[in-house]
Every structure is written in C-alpha cells, then in structure tokens.
Amino acid sequence: MISDRIKKLSPYKTETAQAKIRLSSNELPLHLPEDVRIRIAQEVSKIPINKYPDPNASELKEVLSEHLKVKEENIVLGNGSDELIYYLSVAVGEPNRGVFYPVPTFPMYEISAKVFGRERVEVPLDENMDIDLPLSLNAIKTHSPVLAFISYPNNPTGMCFTQSKIESIRQEGLFTVIDEAYFHFSKKTFLEDAIKREDTVVLRTLSKIGMAGLRVGILIAKEEIAYEINKMRLPFNITYPSQVIARLMLTEFYPLIEESINTVIKERDRLFGELSQMEGIEVFPSDANFILFRSNFPAERLYKELLVRGVLVRNVSYLPRLERCLRVSVGLPQENDAFLEALEDSL
Ligand code: PMP
C-alpha cells in the first residue's frame, strides 16, 4: 500500500550521457597527487569495517567546528545536505503547513515537500533572477507556509538573492533555511544569524569543495535547534570512510582544496567575460561555481551540439524563466577552453 504521494514521484535521474569533459554537476576539479592518494588509502585501510562508525562523527565535527568557527553543538551532519533538507522538511512546524521557495531552484526542496506531503508555495523569480518580493509576500499571506528554502547563491541561476528580500520573507515568521552549498564561491553568508536566531539555519556541504563522493552535509543552527534536529538524525548517517577521509582532507590537505577554489573563482570570471563577448549569448552573473547562459538557439539543439564535441553541460531550459538556457560548471582552465571552443563551433 504505497501512498499516491510517493507513487507520483519520479525516479531520480542521473546524467547518463558520456562525455570527455563533464561540466554538468557543479563538482570541484580536484586533482589529488599520488602521495595524497596513498595517504588516504593508508587511513582507509585501518578502518574496522565490521564496526559501526562513531554515531556522532565527533572527530569530524571537531574539525568542522574549527573550520566554521562555531561550536560542535551548533552542528548537525547529514548524508549530504540532501538528507538535512529531508530532516528540516519534517521537523519544522505542523505537517499541514506549506514550504515556500522561489523557482527555479534546487529540486530537492520540491522533492522533499512532495515526499512529506507539504503544500508547495513556489514563486517565480523576477526578471533579474532575484526574489519577486511582492509576489512572494502575497503568496505567503495566502498560503501561510511555515518553512522557506533559500538557495544562496541560487542553483541554477547562480546569483545570491538580495539580502533584504530574504529578511523580509523571514519577517513573515517563516523558519528560513539558507542553503549555502556554494558559499566558498560567493563568500556571502547568514552564519551569524544561524547561530543566534531560532528562525534561521544555514546548510553547507563538502560536495562543492571537492568531496561530493563522501556525502557530508552540514547544518549550522542555534544549539537548541541543532539539538532537536540531531534527535531525528539516522544514527550512523556518516559512513566510517567518509568520517576518516573528510577529516584528513580538512586537516592535512586543505591547501589543495583552497587552490582549486581560487582557480575556479578566477576561471568563472574569465568564462563570464568570454561568454559576454559572444554574439547571440546572454550570460548571467554568478556567485557560484557554475554559469547560466541563454542562446538564440533551442537549448536542446545546443546541448547536443556541445555533447557531440565532447562537452557535457546541464540543460535547464525546461524550468520557469529559463527558456533557451544552459548551465555550465566552471572546470579547469583547459576544460573551460574546450567548452568555449565547442560553443563557438556550435553557434
Ligand atoms: N543545495 C544546493 C543548492 C545544491 O546545488 C546541491 C547540489 N547540487 C545540494 C544542496 C546538495 O548537496 P549535497 O551533495 O551535500 O547533498
């Protein structure tokens, strides 16, 4: 007796297209030298895989609390921030109250609202890809949602919404989740609010800083809020290898990660400049590690033209406001060059 709510969901679709240059998933290009790989392998080989991992991932949390400059009590870890989005979608307010988010945005907010049977209060972005405040406040008055998800910067559009607009939404009494998955590329944050206020939490992830394969998401909240969410957390949600490797990367090899982040930021700005010069291309500014652009051609055709030339990007043209738009992740300089060349050839 599977509920209709679940039957109506679609299976999660992964990108199956094969391509030499994959710029579709906003991963960080992180080259690990041989000695680093060996060191990781040595640490992993010591793991007693017949044992459960530390249910609290205490050692990893200790390192993260130093990195984030918050207390361990402010942190809840998830199997990716995806899992934390699920937790928040259950934990906040009464189950009959809705979830607000501007669209287009990260699809997990919609999926988790559907999974838990929450009303979805979706408000299209304005023409600048910012929150449409009058429309949002109106929708909030009409539907009284209890929870807001704000991707900051927004995926797939790339920009951070205006801070005062987020504050106006929060003032309506919504518990506000600021999803800072791309924080390392925007450097803009609500972290101070999250540790002080009862109505704001921040999500971060290791996925966009080179560790997507480890599945570690981080919720930062006031101690009392973190304490409550932690009660519903699946006890062993961070696997033993993930705890060990994430800790090692953050303590011993963080300079490698930082270097790659800096390269991506530089490359993003270069890519933006190059795309702005191209005839028939409209490019949107980005605070993230990907860039949204629109062309004069049907997006499906351009997507295929790029794929034929070995470059995989994300077709987001089916989303509201994003007609003829594609999203490209910023890669290594040579990958970005290959993308630009393929694009020139395709236009
Ligand atoms: N939030 C946003 C805005 C994202 O774009 C993504 C990944 N694409 C996530 C969360 C998911 O992150 P994780 O890998 O930690 O589940």
We report the CATH number of the domain holding residue 148 as: 3.40.640.10
pTM of the predicted model, to two decimals?
0.97
Pocket test for ligand 1, best of 207, 290, 329 (most atoms within 8 A of CB): 207
Determine whether the shortest distance from the Cβ of 112 to ligand 1 is under 6 A: no
Counting ligand 1 atoms within 8 A of each CB, the residue from 205, 237, 292 with the most, and so the one to mutate, is 205
Instruction: Compute, in angstroms, the gap from residue 201 CA to the centroid of ligand 1.
Output: 15
* C-beta 207 within 6 A of ligand 1: yes
Question: Does residue 90 sit within a domain?
Answer: yes
233 Cβ contact partners less than 8 Å away, ≥ 6 residues apart? 76, 77, 78, 87
d(CA 347, CA 338): 14
Domain presence at residue 38: no
ipTM above 0.90, yes or no: yes
User: Is any ligand 1 atom within 6 A of the Cβ of residue 181?
Assistant: yes
- Same domain for 240 and 274, yes or no, is no
> Which of 218, 236, 252 represents a domain boundary (last residue)?
252
Question: Does residue 242 lie in a domain region?
Answer: yes
Residues 246 and 206 occupy one common structural domain:
yes
Report CA(120)–ligand 1 centroid distance (Å): 19
Q: Based on the domain organization, do 269 and 247 belong to the same domain?
A: no
* DSSP track, 148-186: EEEESSPTTT-PPPPHHHHHHHHTTT-EEEEE-TTHHHH
Confidence (pLDDT) at 13: 83
CA 124 to ligand 1 center in whole angstroms:
20
**Helix-then-strand count for the chain, H and E:** 14, 13
Q: Does 92 map to a domain?
A: yes
Q: Is residue 58 part of a domain?
A: yes
Go through 40-68 and write b for each residue having 16 or more CB atoms within 10 A of its CB, e for each that does not. Answer: beeeeeeeeeeeebeebbeebbebbbeeb
Is there a single domain that holds both residue 181 and residue 303? no
Do 90 and 223 have their domain in common? yes
Q: How far is the CA of 110 from the centre of ligand 1 (A)?
A: 13
Residues 99 and 247 in one domain: yes
Residue 80, pLDDT score: 98
Q: Are residues 167 and 292 in the same domain?
A: no
Ligand 1 mean position to 103 CA, how many Å? 16
**Does any domain span residue 284?**
yes
- Say which CATH number the domain at 281 has: 3.90.1150.10
- 295: helix, strand or coil: strand
Residues 170 and 293 in one domain: no
pLDDT at res. 347: 87
Looking from the CA of residue 83, the nearest atom of ligand 1 is 16
pLDDT digit string (tens) for the chain, length 347 residues: 999 999 999 998 877 888 999 999 999 999 999 999 999 999 999 999 999 999 999 999 999 999 999 999 999 999 999 999 999 999 999 998 999 999 999 999 999 999 999 999 999 999 999 999 999 999 999 999 999 999 999 999 999 999 999 999 999 999 999 999 999 999 999 999 999 999 999 999 999 999 999 999 999 999 999 999 999 999 999 999 999 999 999 999 999 999 999 999 999 999 999 999 999 999 999 999 999 999 998 999 999 999 999 999 999 999 999 999 999 999 999 999 999 999 999 98
Return the residue whose CA atom lies nearest to atom 12 of ligand 1. 81
Atom of ligand 1 nearest to the CA of 82: 16
Number of domains forming the structure of the chain: 2
What is the distance in A from the centroid of ligand 1 to the CA of 82?
A: 6
- Residue of 25, 27, 103, 179 with the most ligand 1 atoms within 8 Å of its CB, for mutation: 179
Identify whether residues 130 and 243 lie together within a single domain. Answer: yes
Instruction: With respect to residue 39, please indicate whether it lies within any of the assigned structural domains.
Output: no
Q: How far, in whole angstroms, is CA 133 from its chain's centroid?
A: 23
Question: What is the 36 CA–ligand 1 centroid distance (Å)?
Answer: 26
For residue 147, which amino acid is it?
A: L
Same domain, 110 and 159: yes
Sorted by sequence, the CB contacts under 8 Å of residue 278 that are 6+ apart come out as 343, 344, 347
Do 248 and 301 lie in one domain? The reply is no
Residue 306's domain comprises: 4-30+253-346
Domain boundary among 252, 273, 288: 252
Residue 345 alpha carbon to ligand 1 centre in Å: 32
Q: Is the CB of 80 under 6 A from ligand 1?
A: yes
Distance in Å, CA 215 to ligand 1 centroid? 10
| Pair (162, 266) in one structural domain | no
Residue 157 Cβ contacting ligand 1 at under 6 Å = no
Domain closes at, from 252, 283, 306: 252
Ligand 1 atom nearest to CA at 25:
8
Contact 109, 101 (CB under 8 A): yes
| Cα 202 to ligand 1 centre (Å) | 13
Residue 37 in domain: no
